Amino acid sequence: MEEKVVKIKPTEIPAFISWWQGGSRYEENVAEDGITLNLTFQGNALYGDKIWEQLYPNIKIKYISSEEIFGNNKPLNLEIGIGNGEFLANMAAYKAEENFLGVEVFKKIFKLAEKRANKNQFGNIKIIQFDAALILRLMKEDSLSNVYVNFPDPWPKKKHKRRRLLKPDFMQLIVSRLKKGGFMQIATDHDDYAEEINENLKEVQGIKSIYDTPFVRKVEDYFPTKYYRKFVQEEGAYFFRYEKI
Ligand SMILES: C[S@@+](CC[C@H](N)C(=O)[O-])C[C@H]1O[C@@H](n2cnc3c(N)ncnc32)[C@H](O)[C@@H]1O
């Protein structure tokens, strides 16, 4: 009898999928004995279509390493929601001895980031157009140096708040992938989201603020992004930087 293989079509999945199914999507899809995801980067970019064609319902995928992505074992940093890739490009030039992986779900804006990433002279940027919830899960525990989330979508309407990315479980997932001493940096300009992040962080285990306070309004070592320039007022943004202990 002919075996029927059913592939998941990207069109069947809502655009913002991390919050869908309570953010637990992909939990079952990652395992040590899974298949190796074929990372067919073109230049420095990998489009989601190339990932979707490898995803079947209930398929298990193996963890991926810095070696598989960059061909070396330099420290690996991750940025979630890179937008046009400006911050990633600046960080990669600033820390040329480290690797920078960026994830962005939106294809249109990813194309802008692709142009930037392909101009990188240090061979230390790779970007993937996919939901960060899967890519993060594909990273081994205790493997990332730092993780950056700059200006996550604030979803300002009350009925949309549940779509916010930085729920306690998602932040705990980030922390599980960080190495001890590595940090998770979050920047937002949005008062209500900052308040929620502050509350949610209290539920995350094994981290402490690197500052004397839960957040600061200005930092020296930050490269302003499009959103920073557009929305941040004189008093500064909210910067959370929590170290894994
Ligand atoms: C407000 S923009 C900020 C972009 C950039 N970080 C900046 O500061 O200019 C948030 C970005 O996160 C992306 N994003 C939201 N959810 C995501 C997810 N689950 N995985 C990857 N990217 C995501 C959005 O598509 C959007 O480009």
Q: Cα–Cα distance between 110 and 116 in angstroms, integer?
A: 10
Q: Give the Cα separation of 13 and 184 in Å (integer).
A: 28
CA angle 17, 116, 225 (to 5 degrees): 70
Percentage of the chain beyond pLDDT 90 is: 68
Q: Given this model, what pLDDT does residue 23 score?
A: 59
Looking at domain 42-48+64-244, its CATH architecture is 3-Layer(aba) Sandwich (3.40)
For 43, counting Cβ atoms within 10 Å of its Cβ (0-12 exposed, 13-18 middle, 19+ buried), the class is middle
228 Cα nearest atom in ligand 1: 8
Q: Which residue has the tokens 């205790």?
A: 142
pLDDT at 59: 80
**Residue 103 amino acid letter:** V
- Beta strands 238-244 and 207-209, pairing class: antiparallel
Q: How do the domains of the chain map onto residue ranges?
A: 42-48+64-244
How far away, in angstroms, is 3 Cα from ligand 1 center? 39
Pick the atom of ligand 1 nearest to 19's CA. Answer: 19
Residue closest to 153 by CA, chosen among 110, 204, 197, 116:
197
Cα 66 to middle of ligand 1, angstroms: 22
- Output the residue whose Cα is nearest ligand 1's atom 23: 81
Interval 219-239 mean pLDDT? 87
Nearest atom in ligand 1 to the alpha carbon of residue 79 is 6
Cα 72 to middle of ligand 1, angstroms: 27
Is 15 a residue whose pLDDT tops 50? no
Rounded to the nearest angstrom, the distance between the alpha carbon of 110 and the centre of ligand 1 is 10
**Least trusted range by pLDDT, from 8-22, 80-94, 204-218:** 8-22
C-alpha 33 – ligand 1 centre gap (Å): 31
Are residues 212 and 180 in contact, defined by beta-carbon separation less than 8 angstroms?
no
Residue pair 91/225 in contact (Cβ under 8 Å)? The answer is: no
On average, the pLDDT of the chain sits at 89
Which positions are annotated as active-site residues? 153
117-150 per-position pLDDT tens digit: 999 999 999 999 998 988 999 999 999 999 999 9
Q: Which atom of ligand 1 is nearest to the CA of 103?
A: 21
- Tell me what pLDDT residue 94 has: 96
Ligand 1: which residue has its CA nearest to atom 12?
Answer: 81
Question: What was the pLDDT predicted at 162?
Answer: 85
User: According to the model, what pLDDT value does residue 60 have?
Assistant: 87
Q: How confident is the model at residue 11 (pLDDT cuts 50, 70, 90)?
A: low
Atom 5 of ligand 1, nearest CA residue:
83
> Is the pLDDT score of 16 beyond 70?
no
- CB under 6 Å to ligand 1: residues? 16, 18, 80-83, 103-106, 109, 131-133, 150-153, 165, 225-227
Per-residue confidence (pLDDT) for residue 14, from 0 to 100: 47
